[in-house]
């Protein structure tokens, strides 16, 4: 998320840019600037609206090979995977087979203890008169507040990233130091972590995006329904939406091109592997499938699961960190941010990154416009994504105003 000053400056720049050229020219400028960076490779951009989907390709899949990626090329999508897991949750809730307010504990084996925040009271220990300790040092005795009633962690807390869990099992995101650091973080390792972890603040109150929490959600649903996560996801979400090129592990009979990823120096990296964190980080997809997913969110495609999928983008929890929020909300897996200069219009988005790929998906529900950006490089796409969404919003607003005048 960006500061309000950044958004306002960017909006003014966008309006000036748009006046100087059309939307495609502005997108070309942003995309060509991205792929001109030494470490960046291919870039695919998809625009979605009620008239249809349009895709643009930039750069090359490997340095010097002259081959462009296209809308069918497969990318790792990192944290964008999380909105598929939360959509799965919403679909299951619509079937009345679970409730968003169900305790997370009900979705894990009995020998796994879901962390619960405990209020601690610390009181100074009165020193005896003969104490030789420094008078500037005060010792404290800490104990559990007997009057505090812990709140259980709920499914909706995981979906809105207000569970009190950290982003990753370690304090520092190990992906920044070691490729596939979590490839061996098995389900048993996740269970062991949960049994030992103590949340530092109450659940349901503080927003902190947590792939760990989303992964817990996906694994919990899989355990409850006695199915592998990917099979459950395909049955309830991917197949109904005809998303045949979205998966954790590429099927043997799928011939779609899977691209090579590149790190921040432009070097080739091995394919990402995330162990039990896969429901939050591990999906692969292409621009065609992601556009189809956004069309359902925008109610541009009819589906039996359209409503529960679209409901994930409803604002649920205010993001109150003054450095990050500025009117932003958390949905189920999504971030909902206001568009500067138009308080009635909001962008709903999620970004993702793996060891060698980056992804961005976003949409403006009020204007029925969506955006997909994929790269087989690790450089961030959020700035480009938000700038293009702003340009799309300005174009739509200007077109509407011209229609009213005539």
- pLDDT range class, residue 403, cuts 50, 70, 90: low
Q: What is the residue-averaged pLDDT of the chain? A: 88
CATH code at position 49:
3.40.710.10
Burial of 73 by CB count in 10 Å (0-12 exposed, 13-18 middle, 19+ buried)? Answer: buried
Q: Using one digit for the tens of pLDDT, what is the confidence trace for 123-132?
A: 676 655 545 5
**Rounded distance, CA 149 to CA 315, Å?**
28
Report in angstroms the alpha-carbon separations of 372 from 49, 53, 358, 361, 397. 12, 10, 11, 5, 21
> How many whole angstroms separate alpha carbon 331 and alpha carbon 99?
16
Q: Higher pLDDT residue, 131 or 374?
A: 374
Predicted local distance difference test score (pLDDT) of residue 140: 64
Q: Is the residue at 163 inside a domain?
A: no
Q: What digits encode the pLDDT tens for the residues 220-238?
A: 999 999 999 999 999 999 9
Residue 194 maps to a domain: no
Q: Measured between alpha carbons, how far is 296 from 241 in angstroms, rounded to an integer?
A: 8
Confidence band (pLDDT; 50, 70, 90) for 2? very low
In a domain? residue 213: yes
The confidence score (pLDDT) of residue 9 equals 45
- Count the domains in the chain: 1
The model's pLDDT over 294-323, given as tens digits with 9 standing for 90+, comes to 999 999 999 999 999 999 999 999 998 756
What share of the chain in percent tops pLDDT 90?
71
Q: Do 303 and 309 meet the contact criterion of CB atoms below 8 Å apart? A: yes
Is 353 domain-assigned?
yes
Question: Which range of residues forms the domain containing residue 384?
Answer: 4-99+209-405
pLDDT for 14 beyond 50:
no
Residue 118 maps to a domain:
no
Given a contact cutoff of 8 angstroms between Cβ atoms, the answer to whether 57 and 43 are in contact is yes
Which pLDDT score is estimated for 120? 58
Task: Say if 42 falls within a structural domain.
Answer: yes
Residue 165 lies in a domain: no
């Amino acid at each position: 998320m960006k500061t309000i000053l950044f958004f306002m400056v960017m909006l003014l720049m966008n309006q000036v840019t748009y006046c100087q050229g059309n939307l495609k020219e502005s997108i070309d400028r942003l995309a060509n600037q991205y792929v001109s960076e030494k470490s960046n490779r291919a870039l695919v951009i998809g625009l979605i609206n009620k008239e249809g989907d349009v895709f643009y390709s930039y750069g090359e899949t490997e340095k010097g090979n002259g081959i462009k990626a296209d809308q069918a090329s497969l990318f790792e999508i990192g944290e964008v995977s999380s909105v598929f897991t939360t959509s799965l949750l919403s679909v299951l809730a619509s079937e009345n087979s679970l409730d968003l307010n169900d305790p997370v504990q009900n979705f894990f084996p009995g020998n796994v203890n879901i962390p619960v925040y405990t209020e601690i009271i610390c009181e100074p220990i009165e020193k005896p008169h003969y104490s030789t300790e420094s008078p500037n040092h005060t010792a404290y005795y800490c104990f559990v507040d007997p009057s505090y009633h812990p709140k259980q962690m709920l499914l909706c807390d995981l979906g809105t990233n207000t569970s009190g869990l950290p982003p990753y099992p370690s304090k520092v995101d190990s992906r920044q130091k070691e490729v596939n650091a979590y490839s061996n973080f098995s389900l048993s390792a996740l269970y062991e972590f949960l049994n030992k972890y103590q949340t530092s603040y109450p659940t349901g109150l503080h927003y902190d995006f947590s792939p760990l929490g989303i992964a817990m959600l996906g694994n919990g649903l899989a355990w409850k329904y006695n199915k592998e996560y990917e099979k459950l996801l395909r049955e309830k979400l991917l197949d109904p939406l005809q998303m045949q090129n979205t998966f954790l592990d590429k099927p043997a009979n799928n011939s779609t091109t899977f691209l090579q990823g590149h790190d921040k120096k432009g070097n080739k990296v091995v394919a990402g592997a995330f162990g039990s964190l896969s429901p939050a980080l591990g999906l692969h997809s292409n621009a065609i499938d992601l556009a189809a997913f956004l069309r359902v969110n925008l109610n541009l495609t009819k589906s039996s699961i359209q409503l529960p999928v679209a409901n994930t983008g409803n604002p649920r929890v205010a993001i109150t960190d003054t450095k990050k929020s500025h009117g932003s909300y958390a949905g189920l897996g999504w971030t909902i941010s206001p568009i500067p200069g138009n308080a009635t219009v909001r962008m709903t988005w999620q970004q993702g990154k793996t060891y060698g790929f980056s992804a961005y998906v976003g949409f403006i529900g009020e204007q029925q416009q969506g955006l997909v950006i994929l790269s087989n490089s690790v450089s961030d796409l959020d700035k480009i994504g938000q700038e293009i969404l702003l340009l799309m919003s300005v174009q739509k607003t200007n077109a509407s105003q011209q229609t009213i005048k005539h």
